[in-house]
Amino acid sequence: MRTGFNWVCGFIAVIFAGWTIYVAWNKDFTCGQLTHDDLGKLIVGFWAVVPPIFFWFDWVVLYNRIDPAARDTAKHTHDLSRNIWLGLVGILFFAFFGKGLGGG
């Protein structure tokens, strides 16, 4: 069950991350009455807040009763995921708000 949960959440995150990078680099992309800048604020805000909440919930609630070996594996996976997440937030911040290549 744990592995399935990780694969499903990971797949959804990768698809959403790809879409948000596309939106960030496509300066003509709008959604309803939201401008590209408005979308940038929402998307960067989402990625800055939601993954840490998920990581906290996953670690504190779902991993609180597992054996030490599985806990070490989970910690390593969370560390890798955190690094990818921080890279994504940096790319999105630069793409939406940075000056120069691709930035506003």
Q: Is 34 helix (H, G, I), strand (E, B) or coil?
A: strand
Let me know if residue 92 belongs to a domain. Answer: yes
Q: Total structural domains in the chain?
A: 1
> Which one has a higher pLDDT value, 71 or 93?
93
Q: What is the 3-state secondary structure (H, E, C) of 48-75?
A: HHHHHHHHHHHHHHHCCCCCHHHHHHHH
Q: Which helix (H) or strand (E) holds 23?
A: helix 2-25
Question: What's this model's pTM, rounded to 2 decimal places?
Answer: 0.81
pLDDT tens by residue, 40-90 = 999 999 999 999 998 888 888 877 778 888 888 888 888 998 999 999 999
Domain that holds residue 18: 2-97
Q: Which helix (H) or strand (E) holds 29?
A: none
Q: What is the DSSP letter of 100?
A: S
Helix axes 36-57, 68-97, angle to 10 degrees: 170
Let me know if residue 102 belongs to a domain. Answer: no
